A and B are shown apart, each in its own frame.
Chain A
């Protein structure tokens, strides 16, 4: 009994830490609709700045003052980023802000190493709170008690702020209905800045209070960001109380779960999230939005068949790819194959999120399942490449059929997070099932058949398969099915009113996207010769999103160009400097500001066919 109580307290202190970060993220998303990927980076910055300040300032006042000042400093930094960068792109397609904050994260990660060094830092213990007190005969750290109190204190402070101040009431109103607030004549820009600053403050505070119990290190951001998102989704976006409840549930389940299943913490929160979303599609306390937000990729400009000029460009590009082996060395062909594979991966994601309006944060799941499909066929059946390429995608398809059935029942960011949950669950199975998947050491020796083993032959094989798949995707997009999928995205009401079974169509679209992604994974496995859990992990899903958004979500060609640019760029930069994060990050931020429609979207707008051209072409 005593032990259970202590374990309960342990859960509470973890819950508080989670809540601080998650509440900030929830508030930011609720009002500004920014999917703030940089939230973890602000958390990390909070810890680093607090480390510096608490080392410099002495005593209890120095310590707590340092923590507050650190959170405030980082909050100001966040405000600056909001004003300088995010303000410019609120009008861009949704999720574009995700891309910007992803770029910021990369930059901050490198900056932190430059400023504070690469090694872990050990922060000071809180003066007077470095000991333990006796609870039922167990030593319990005093500082943890402070943390336990901090969660509810913050919750109350936020409640007072949102219910007892005019600013807070406006923020709440904005969470429910943005249009109304601007109709009331409130300066929306400053409201957003304020909310973003508050959110960043909470994140930085969450990071700063970790220094007496954790090491300060440069991977803190990635540790927390996904967890924070999961908490926010379980609680319901924009709902602070929901985030509190979710933090409590997750932390306590973990605290007691490890007693029975010591390996559970790896996957626990994703299982909880999947279960919650299946039962409550808007999280525990979230509500369906009053005004349906326009789905991603919803645009005025219709998808148009290629103009003659565009056709010539495509043919020219194809020709370049065809004759590339004549003058390129093996390494260029290797990178070329990789770019082609990722073009297919990005195009499949675009089919799902651009055409289908279903954003996926877990598209790597199908890529990885395809890759592991090959690896397992080779390992257990010794299957030749020709057969494995055909059969392996079935594993990805099976995954998409099961996951998709659940996912299409949700919408918006909840759908996206459920795809993430399924991806993480798949990842965890692959990561832990050593006997079959080789665990994190992966499966080796998946090399192409003899005839395709030289780089040139493999390149041509990849080229043929990818071009065929891309052509198929394009045909699907312009087929009745593709139109129907797009229709479900544009207007559910209208789709329903002309006899379209939305769930079935989206499910089918989901599975198709998963299949093509799986095919890309299959080719990738043969390109690299081995498979690892990395191929199904979150960073790969994020890469996919970046490619699609970078290229432009509104055109069929966008994701393909985006994949090419992103992959080529990162390969070149990584090959030449280990400071690639800061360069790539800056590059992404610049692109986001310069090309708010994506690269292809920009060129279309600038040089592309106008409405009249489209009409002309069609007659």
Chain B
């Protein structure tokens, strides 16, 4: 069964086809990796999926429900969690408060003015932090965290609304190699546990091939290959235009905003 069905997704910047007629499906319970060289359109694609960027054409169906054209916050309410390439958290709050905020929002109590926010859903938030092994740092100010911890916090936040699918934009970027493995293992466990799907982009091929169930390769805005990691590894086109270039996989040109 597919949790997410994308058809004909396109985005043009002036004359540049950043994402051109992309089709794919994310199966329930799988980790699908999205890879591609610099400027291939990965982040643009991601930003359209959660509504941050308006698509020029195409359809995005979440469990048969069209979500294209919705605002990010509406997409989130449909059950799509998101982490960012450059981590985005509420820096003036503590770690646990960041998670509590997401849970408060999930329960639609954002306008509530009577209770103390700090004591709402504390246990639930704590459990989520335990899930990502951040419980020790629950009361630290978010602005003081190490980068890898912020990424784990983002994961906990993304899980707060019981998502059906997680979009993770380079979840392991900027982390030490062993941290990357740990984070992806953690993600994989959670996915298995909760039965949700994950779509993630990643530059580290070790991470991709050791954790993804399937891999999709994007080049110049188009899907050039989609299949099992072993198939992709063998794919000559992929090797020539992507693996062979030795490109530095840095920020993409578009879609970081």
Contact = CB atoms under 8 A, between A and B. Distances in A.
Indicate yes or no for A touching B, C-beta below 8 A. Answer: yes
Interface of A: 297-303, 305, 475-476, 478-484, 486-487, 489-491, 493-501, 505, 508, 611, 614-615, 618-619
7 tightest A-B CB contacts, nearest first: A300-B143, A494-B88, A490-B90, A483-B117, A493-B88, A615-B139, A496-B72
A486 B120 contact: no
Contacts of B102: 498
Contacts of A618: 118, 139
B118 A505 contact: no
B94 interface: yes
B84 A493 contact: yes
B22 interface: no
Interface string B98-130: 001110111001111111111010000000000
Given A496-B71, A499-B76, A483 B52 contact: no
Given A479-B114, A496-B72, A614-B139, 16 more contacts: A299-B143, A300-B92, A302-B94, A305-B116, A478-B116, A479-B112, A479-B115, A480-B109, A484-B111, A490-B89, A490-B93, A497-B73, A497-B76, A497-B84, A498-B102, A618-B118
Given A479-B113, A481-B111, A483-B104, A491 B91 contact: yes
21 contacts: A298-B91, A300-B91, A301-B92, A301-B141, A480-B109, A482-B113, A483-B100, A486-B92, A486-B93, A487-B90, A489-B92, A491-B88, A497-B73, A498-B76, A498-B102, A498-B160, A499-B161, A505-B110, A611-B140, A614-B139, A618-B118
A481 B73 CA distance: 16
A379 B240 CA distance: 84
A493 B140 CA distance: 21
A282 to B, nearest CB: 15
A interface secondary structure, majority: helix
A489 B101 CA distance: 14
B42 interface: no
B82 interface: yes
A448 to B, nearest CB: 30
B109 A490 contact: no
A350 to B, nearest CB: 14
B50 interface: yes
B139 A486 contact: no
B235 to A, nearest CB: 33
Contacts of B100: 483
B101 A483 contact: yes
Contacts, number: 129
B225 to A, nearest CB: 29
Contacts of B30: none
A24 B77 CA distance: 48
A489 B90 CA distance: 8
Contact of A483 (B74, B84, B97): B97
Contacts of A495: 90
B144 interface: yes
Contacts of B118: 305, 478, 618
Contacts of A499: 73-74, 76-77, 105-106, 161
A618 B94 CA distance: 11
B40 interface: no
Which one of A482, A487, A508, A619 has the greatest number of beta carbons of chain B within 10 Å?
A487
Interface string B136-173: 00011111100000000000010011000000000000
Contact of A480 (B91, B112, B157): B112
B90 A494 contact: yes
A597 B161 CA distance: 37
B175 to A, nearest CB: 19
Contacts of B50: 497
Given A480-B117, A484-B110, A487-B101, A611 B93 contact: no
B257 to A, nearest CB: 9
A289 to B, nearest CB: 11
Given A480-B104, A493-B88, A300 B141 contact: yes
Contacts of A614: 139
B112 A481 contact: yes
Nearest to B78: A499
Nearest to B80: A497
A36 B112 CA distance: 39
Contacts of B114: 475, 479
B92 A480 contact: no
A476 B82 contact: no
Given A499-B161, A500-B105, A298 B117 contact: no
Contacts of B73: 496-501
A500 B112 CA distance: 13
Tell which of B77, B88, B89, B114 has the most Cβ of chain A within 10 Å. B88
A302 B93 CA distance: 5
A619 B118 CA distance: 11
Contacts of A498: 73, 76, 101-102, 105-106, 157, 160-161
A349 to B, nearest CB: 18
Nearest to A488: B90
B92 A299 contact: yes
Contacts of B77: 499
Contacts of B113: 475-476, 479-482
Interface in B178-230: none
Nearest to B140: A611
A483 to B, nearest CB: 4
A424 B71 CA distance: 35
Contacts of A484: 101, 104-105, 110-111
B112 A490 contact: no
